[in-house]
Amino acid sequence: MIEKGKISSFQMALLIVPTIIATAVLVVPAITGKFAGRDLWISPILASLNGFFTTFIAYRLHKYFPKETVIQYSGHIIGRLPGKAIGLVYLFFFLHVCGIICREYADFVIGSFLPKTPMTIVIGSLVLVCAFAIHGGVEVLGRAAQLLVPLFMLPPLLFFLLLQDFKIENIFPIMEHGIMPSLLGAVVPQAWFSEIFLISMLLPFLTDHEKGGKSSMAAVIFSMFILVFTNIVNIFLFGGTVSAYTYPVFTAFRYIGLASFFEHLESFVIAFWVLGIFIKIAVFYYAFVLGTAQWLRLSDYRPLTLPLGFLVTIFSIWVSPNEQEMSKFLGTIIPFYIPTFMTFIPMLLLLIAIIRKKFKKKSFTT
C-alpha cells in the first residue's frame, strides 16, 4: 500500500466534519435562504439524508474492497480500462473542486479582511501549508484534525453572546408554505453532505475498521446539528432577510458587542474558521494526491504533492473570473455537479458490484 500511516475512526470523523461544514456555514445559508425563507433551519435536516445515503454507499463499497480506495476499486468493478477512465474523471473532479474551495476561501478572506493582498498569495500560502501536512502522510492529517477541529468548533458557542438580540418570533410560522420551500432549499446543502464520500479515500487506513461506518454517520449527524444551529441563529437575528447577506453567519458575529468593549469578534472567528478550511482543503488535496499516485501506480505519493498543489493554485484562479459568477455556479450547478460524482457514480458502482458478486461468485475476488 502507498500510504503507510494509520488513523483512528475518531480522527477520520474529525477530518470529515470540517470537510462538510467549513464552506457550508460560509455560503450555504444565503443560497438556502433564497428558497426556504423562514424555514431555513429545516433544510440541513433534509439535506443530511443524502449524507446518510452516501455514507452507506461508501461503507458498503469499502466492505467489498477493504484495502482499496475509489480510484482502485472502480477498476475491479467495471474492468481495467473503464476503471481508468472513471479514475481520471475523479481526479479531474478532485482538482476542480479543490480549486473551487480555494477560490471560495480567497474570495471571502480578500473581501472581508485582506483587500489589498493578491489572490495568488492568499491561496498559495494555504496550499503550501496543506502540502506540508500531506507530505507527512495521513497520520499527520489525523493529528492536525485532532488538534485543530475542537478549536474550530468554538465560534458557534459565541452565538450565546447574542441572546439579547434574538427575536424568537422570527421563526414562526413554521412551514407557512408547506414543505416545498425547505425541500428546494435543501438541494444546495445536500451537495455539501455528499462530500462525505471522501471517507472512501480514508477508510482503508483505519485502525478500527468496524467502527468506520458508525463514526462517519456520527460526523454527518454532528455537521447537521452545527448547520441547523447556525441557521436557527441566523433566523432569530435576521428573520426572512438572511439571503440579503453574502456571508450571513459572519455578519451575525459582527453583531456581537458586550458593554462596547467586547467587540469585533469576527477577527477571532475568522482565525478559527481558517483552521477548518485548512482541514477541508487538506482532505480534498490529499484525496487528489493519493488518487493520482494510485492511478499512475506509483510507489510513493509524496513527490507529487507540490506539483499538484501548483496545479490546484492555478485552477483556483482559473475556475471563475469573478465572485458573482462563482456564487451563481455554487447556487445552480454545484447541487448537481458534486452529487453526480460523490453519490450517483458510487451508487452505480455499488449496484454493479452487487450484481457481479451475485452472478459469478468465483471470478469476483477482491
Partner 1 sequence: MKWLTIAGITLCVIFMALFEWPKMDRHQKKEKAAFVTIVAMGWLLVILLLFFPEMPGPTQMIDKLFKPLGKMLEK
Q: Which stretches of the chain bind partner 1, using CB under 8 A?
A: 34-35, 92, 96, 99-100, 184, 187-188, 292, 296-300, 302-304, 306-308, 310-311, 314-315, 317-321, 329, 331-333, 335-337, 340
Least distance between partner 1 and beta carbon 190 (Å): 12
Mapped onto helix, strand or coil, the DSSP state of residue 123 is helix
DSSP, res 172: P
By beta-carbon proximity to partner 1, the closer residue of 34 and 143 is 34
Judge whether 183 and 278 are in contact, CB under 8 Å.
no
Least distance between partner 1 and beta carbon 292 (Å): 8
Least distance between partner 1 and beta carbon 287 (Å): 16
Least distance between partner 1 and beta carbon 337 (Å): 6
Nearest to 288 by CA among 271, 268, 312: 312
Judge whether 63 and 212 are in contact, CB under 8 Å.
no
Q: What is the DSSP string of 186-206?
A: THHHHHHHHGGGGHHHHGGGB
Least distance between partner 1 and beta carbon 89 (Å): 12
By beta-carbon proximity to partner 1, the closer residue of 130 and 233 is 130
Extract the C-alpha cell encoding 284.
Answer: 480534498
Q: Identify each DSSP E strand in the chain by its residue range.
A: 257-258, 262-263
How far is it, in rounded angstroms, from Cα 49 to Cα 228?
14
By beta-carbon proximity to partner 1, the closer residue of 161 and 317 is 317
Mapped onto helix, strand or coil, the DSSP state of residue 127 is helix
Cis preceding linkage at 66, omega within 30: no
Nearest to 212 by CA among 223, 222, 199, 225: 199
By beta-carbon proximity to partner 1, the closer residue of 80 and 297 is 297
By beta-carbon proximity to partner 1, the closer residue of 32 and 223 is 32
By beta-carbon proximity to partner 1, the closer residue of 75 and 99 is 99
Least distance between partner 1 and beta carbon 296 (Å): 6
